[in-house]
Amino acid sequence: MEKGNNFQSSKFWIEKILNQAKLYTSLRYLSLIYKPGQCHPIANTNTMNSREIIRIPTKLKIATGSYILQTVRAKFKSNTELSICKLCNETEETLPHFLLTCKSLEDIRNPILEDLINSCSEELAAFNMKGEHFDILQLIIDPFTYMTMLSFPQLRNEKVFKVIQNIIDPKCRRLCYNLHCERYRLLQLDDIKKKKRK
């Protein structure tokens, strides 16, 4: 009887958390495969490789909307001028701009992105992934989303999970981390130039 109650109440909380997560726009890219007491898979790596581990915080900040881009900074200070990307000075620095379109980051982005897309078409094609579900931004931020989009039988689900965990997610992590490092490097260079001018 008690066991049944526990089951009912944990089910209640899982549903409540999942429904709330849908409402938070900053979490809109995070797949809802969260289970109480478990780490979200993007916060996890199955290796003890320190090069992999160091990349996790950047990815998590991006996925939870706490990575500070110019648009976020501008919102805090109610200043729209601030929202322009300081790397290219062309448009607002939004998450899609930073991850996908900023020209100043092209050299870092293109090779990793190409490799990521190739892997996806090779690895995920085997699971009958339909093209209309494919959203590159969503894929980069949280590739585990595809687990919730597809209604595979359990066994195939586990296979997809392993492919994403071992092959796809490390590439997404690498992309986010390398873009972050290059952005940081360019911004610092910019600061140094300004200081020299003064």
What are the residues binding Zn ion (CB under 5 A)?
Answer: 85, 87-88, 102
Shorter beta-carbon distance to Zn ion: residue 79 or 91: 91
Candidates 89, 147, 137; CA nearest to 116 is 137
Read off φ and ψ for residue 128, nearest 5 degrees: 60, 40
| Smallest separation (angstroms) from Zn ion to the CB of 10 | 45
Provide the minimum distance between the beta carbon of 75 and Zn ion in the complex, in angstroms, as a whole number. Answer: 17
| Residue number, 100 or 150, with CB nearest to Zn ion | 100
CB-neighbour burial class of residue 27 (10 A; exposed 0-12, middle 13-18, buried 19+): middle
CA–CA dist 105, 183 (Å, integer): 7
Least Cβ distance, residue 78 to Zn ion (angstroms): 22
Cα three-residue angle 186-189-191, rounded to 5 degrees: 110
Which residue shows structure tokens 């911004």? 187
Decide whether 21 or 95 has the Cβ nearer to Zn ion.
95
Tell me whether residue 124 or residue 179 sits nearer to Zn ion (CB atom).
179
Shortest Å distance, C-beta 41 to Zn ion: 30
Closest CA to 42 of 62, 67, 19, 13: 62
Task: Please state, in angstroms and rounded to a whole number, the distance separating the CA atoms of residues 62 and 173.
Answer: 10
Q: Which is nearer to Zn ion, 32 or 84 (CB)?
A: 84
CB of 25 to Zn ion, least distance (A): 22
